Amino acid sequence: MTKQVANVQLMQKMNRLKVLDYVRRHPDASRSAIAAETGLSLASITNITAYLLETGLISESGVESADRVGRKRTLLRFCADRYATVCVVIEDRVAQVLLTDMEGTILSTEQLTTKGLAMERVLQDITACIARLQQREDVPLVLAVGVSVSGIVLEDGQFLVSTQMKWKNFPLRQRLEEQCGLPVYVENVSFLRAAEYFYRLNNRGDSNMLFVDMENGIGAVQYYNGAITRGTLGEIGHTTMKRDGEPCFCGNRGCLEAMCNPKRLLRLYESASGEELESLSVLEQRYAEEDPHARFAVEECGSYLGMGLANLVSLFNPTAIIINTGDFTLCPALFDVAEAELRRRAYSALTTELVIDKVDLTREELVQGMAFYLCNQLFDLSCPHNVVE
């Protein structure tokens, strides 16, 4: 009898989470629409939404504007401000610690220096900052901490290596959980940007797309049949492009990140011309003016990027590649060279209908992607900190 009750309670929780997740992803949804999409009966939806309304996780947001006979359907919306999260964005010079609601709206921000500091010191400063944010009187209950890093992060949140931060094999998730007393989720920054693009900004109908992130290194994330593929690590930046190429922090030589990065672009120009340029925008201008040294630098780095993209096409056969221009936003010529190299190297049947789009995601959009990801974790049935009983 006890086992039967437990099974009923488990099923009830699963259905509540299913409804909550649907409302979160589809603002202003009606009960009948939720029933149609989830497969639950309208009676079950009525009971579940009554519970979620009582807990404050959803609210009624008005009635539909449909022009039809009969009673207008009441619409429901996720209450993002019911709880809070802390999003930590770690970069080579600074770390931002942001208090947000559960949709990524930023409520408060603190910025910490990371340049030249050991990981232990950075961790100590982040922990102190999280404690200060939690002590504010106007802050909702903080459910979790999300950490964005540029580097290899395994699926259990184990942090392995970051070329940008010059960190290796530091148990970031475990140490931060011990010190701040909250569940912590560590994720690769490219995955979080891809989550923001695919789940919030994307209006394409493609079932197989790649997101290539050119900020804080080079990462690649696959979106397949409505979900991001977690079985793909996406560290294209650490695939070898040249056997005896430039040294990379990971210990290898000739990695894509080592052969195509902003510093190398400027260094190649200086080596060829004897002139030091202050920014990629100046290099882009010189390229447009047909400066041969600028063309050499852009074509050298762009061709390696094109090789990397061609490899992705051969592996995944995507219908579209979305490139977050990131560190190279001020040098669009690099992407023209890369696309030409991609189409020259990849099998033509795979590129005939291939679409390549470029975006430039903001810090705010990264934080929104992190909040979306945190909600996914917290609303998962197996999460011990789940807010749904």
In the chain, the number of structural domains is 3
Pick the last residue of a domain from 23, 45, 78: 78
Helix (H) or strand (E) holding 266: helix 262-273
Let me know if residue 261 belongs to a domain.
yes
Are 313 and 331 part of one and the same domain? Answer: yes
184-188 vs 142-149, strand pairing mode: parallel
When pLDDT is averaged across residues 324-335 and rounded to a whole number, the result is 96
Output DSSP code: residue 253: B
Are 43 and 101 part of one and the same domain? Answer: no
Are 121 and 212 part of one and the same domain? Answer: no
Instruction: Compute the mean pLDDT over every residue in the chain, rounded to the nearest whole number.
Output: 89
> Does position 143 have pLDDT exceeding 70, yes or no?
yes
Let me know if residue 170 belongs to a domain.
yes
CA 358 to chain centre: 16
Are 353 and 374 part of one and the same domain? Answer: no
Q: Which residues of 67-101 are buried (b: 16+ CB within 10 A; e: fewer)?
A: eeeeeeeebbbbbbebbbbbbbbbbbeebbbbbbb
Token match 């609210």: residue?
Answer: 59
Helix, strand, coil percentages in the chain from 3-state DSSP, rounded to 5? 45, 20, 35
Select the more confidently predicted residue: 164 or 265. 265
Q: 168 has which bridge partners? A: 161
What Å distances lie between residue 376 and 51, 82, 87, 150, 382, CA to CA?
Answer: 20, 16, 14, 21, 11
Select the more confidently predicted residue: 324 or 63. 324
> Does position 17 have pLDDT exceeding 70, yes or no?
yes
pLDDT digits (tens, 9 = 90+) for 256-278: 999 999 999 999 999 999 999 99
What confidence tier does 2 reach under pLDDT thresholds 50, 70, 90? low
Supply φ then ψ for residue 378, to 5 degrees.
-70, -30
Are 288 and 238 part of one and the same domain? Answer: yes
Considering only 8-12, 190-194, 276-280, 352-356, which range has the smallest mean pLDDT? 8-12
CATH classification of the domain holding 221: 3.30.420.40
pLDDT digits (tens, 9 = 90+) for 284-326: 999 999 999 999 999 999 999 999 999 999 999 999 999 999 9
> Does position 171 have pLDDT exceeding 80, yes or no?
yes
Let me know if residue 388 belongs to a domain.
no
Are 221 and 308 part of one and the same domain? Answer: yes
Are 111 and 179 part of one and the same domain? Answer: yes
Q: What is the pLDDT at residue 147?
A: 93
Are 237 and 139 part of one and the same domain? Answer: no
Q: Which residues of 281-320 are buried (b: 16+ CB within 10 A; e: fewer)?
A: ebbbebbeeebebbbbbbbbbbbbbbbbbbbbbeebebeb
Let me know if residue 269 belongs to a domain.
yes
Are 105 and 8 part of one and the same domain? Answer: no
Q: What is the pLDDT at residue 206?
A: 81
Q: 17 has which bridge partners? A: none
What confidence tier does 69 reach under pLDDT thresholds 50, 70, 90? low
When pLDDT is averaged across residues 89-101 and rounded to a whole number, the result is 91
Q: What is the pLDDT at residue 3?
A: 56
Q: Which domain holds residue 46?
A: 2-78
Are 188 and 205 part of one and the same domain? Answer: no
Is there a contact between 78 and 56 (Cβ–Cβ < 8 Å)?
no
Q: What is the pLDDT at residue 64?
A: 78
Are 100 and 205 part of one and the same domain? Answer: no
Let me know if residue 384 belongs to a domain.
no
Token match 């392995």: residue?
Answer: 160
Output DSSP code: residue 384: T
CATH classification of the domain holding 23: 1.10.10.10
> Does position 161 have pLDDT exceeding 80, yes or no?
no
What confidence tier does 134 reach under pLDDT thresholds 50, 70, 90? confident
Inter-helix orientation angle 333-345/292-316, to 10°: 50
Are 348 and 372 part of one and the same domain? Answer: no
Contacts of 145 (CB under 8 A, 6+ apart): 85, 86, 87, 88, 130, 176, 180, 182, 183, 184, 185
